[in-house]
Amino acid sequence: MRRIVAALVLFALIAGAGALTGLVLSEGERGSAVTPSIRPASPEEAASAASQALSDGELPGSSGVERAGGADEGLPGAGVDELLPSDRAAGSGGAEPSPEALPRLTPQMTEPAAGAEPVVAVAEALSPSVVLVEIESSSEFGFGLGSGIVWDADNGYIVTNQHVVEGAATVGIVLSDGARLEGEVIGGSTAHDVAVVRVDPAAAELTAAPFAPASSVRVGQLAVAIGSPLGLAGTVTAGIVSAVRIQVQGGADPTSPVPVEMIQTDAAINRGNSGGALADSQGRVIGMNTMIQTTTGGSIGLGFAVPSDTVDLIATRIVGGESLELGYLGIEGGAGDGDLGVRVTKVLPGSPAEEAGLLAGDVIISIDSEPMYDIYELSAAIKLRRPGEPVELTVTRRGEIYIVTAILDSLG
């Protein structure tokens, strides 16, 4: 029941341009004092793991819809991956971040009263924090449009998708009041499709968007998308959260997709919505609209947003000059026992997994206490972490439960 499309046919929602790569700005957290190890689980740890394994397999807030499946399980009639070049023509209309890295997790507005107009309230509260992004590049398209979210007003930082600003020679930011500012691309992660643009904070009055923790998202809740589809700045559409923790092959480079977590919504989003906000009923950003699945070239109610925690984590790394390298564990795997877990089918020689003592046949049921349901989910969790970071894996081996500490390496 938990398997949906592995190779989701995804439409990036903007018209980006060219080839500015994600920047690796510094080395990762190598040299940690933690060492690879494996030990039997304590009685408390074993009891917790057993409780997870005996549960119905649903994460808190999970929809129960299927997660990413095999590559042969694509949806019939799905469209072809592309970066939506038609919008480029000129004139076209894991790892949990630390509390210090999440200063915006404060509601901007209270929950609307029963009978009120919640979408109106969200639009009025959040629209000042959503911007139009204009791109000029040397590519064949020359001009592109997307969206962005004011992430740090004091320092002039705006988050958007990496595919929006790829190849940008110049970046223009248009605020909700019509003010135009010149932007500078600070950096971006191709793997997670998150980038940061900086404007002069003294040049205009910026309003930072509040970000909600991804753990607050529930299937069926109100989802409001705000952005600039086809250049129509300040467009608001509404729907619901259709699914959470969906694993898709994402990133800004369609030729080298990376498993990433997404929030699925049926709120109408189209070309130009990329980088814009997906918000909850309190006017808080729960995700950054990034891609759609389509058979027509337009919205058919299958939109995907990078979760707020991921956006905040990657943006914090970018502005802090930290590494954007992806973590690497070094296993191959498949379905575990029952609903929960990833069975290790192969441990690659010389890998962090081998150094930590993992063996073929082990079943990984959690990473840093976060339950894992399939290899795609585990891969997404690993790739959100950086080389040099320690991870704690709970595994079962021949009926016994072990705690494995692995020090991640880089894919290179």
Residues with catalytic function: 163, 193, 274
Residues 94 and 381: beta-carbon distance below 8 Å: yes
How many other CB atoms are found less than 10 A from the CB of residue 107? 14
Helices (H) and strands (E) in the chain, counts: 6, 24
Between CA 300 and CA 60 the distance in angstroms is 27
DSSP string, 330-368: -EEEEE-STTS-EEEEEE-TTSHHHHHT--TT-EEEEET
Q: State the Rg of the chain over Cα.
A: 21
Strand partners, 137: 168
User: Which residue spans within 175-272 are E strands per DSSP?
Assistant: 180-189, 194-198, 222-227, 235-250, 258-265
Between CA 305 and CA 278 the distance in angstroms is 7
Q: Would you state the torsion angle of the CA atoms of residues 359, 364, 370, 373, taken in this order, to the nearest 10 degrees? A: 150
Please enumerate in sequence order all residues whose Cβ is within 8 A of that of 235, keeping only pairs 6 or more positions apart, or say none. 226, 227, 228, 229, 273
Residues 409 and 387: beta-carbon distance below 8 Å: yes
DSSP state of 58: P
CA 265, 269, 272 angle in degrees (round to 5)? 140
Between CA 124 and CA 264 the distance in angstroms is 23
How many other CB atoms are found less than 10 A from the CB of residue 91? 6
Please enumerate in sequence order all residues whose Cβ is within 8 A of that of 273, keeping only pairs 6 or more positions apart, or say none. 13, 14, 147, 225, 227, 228, 229, 235, 289, 303
Closest CA to 369 of 407, 403, 338, 399: 403
Three-state secondary structure call for residue 319: helix
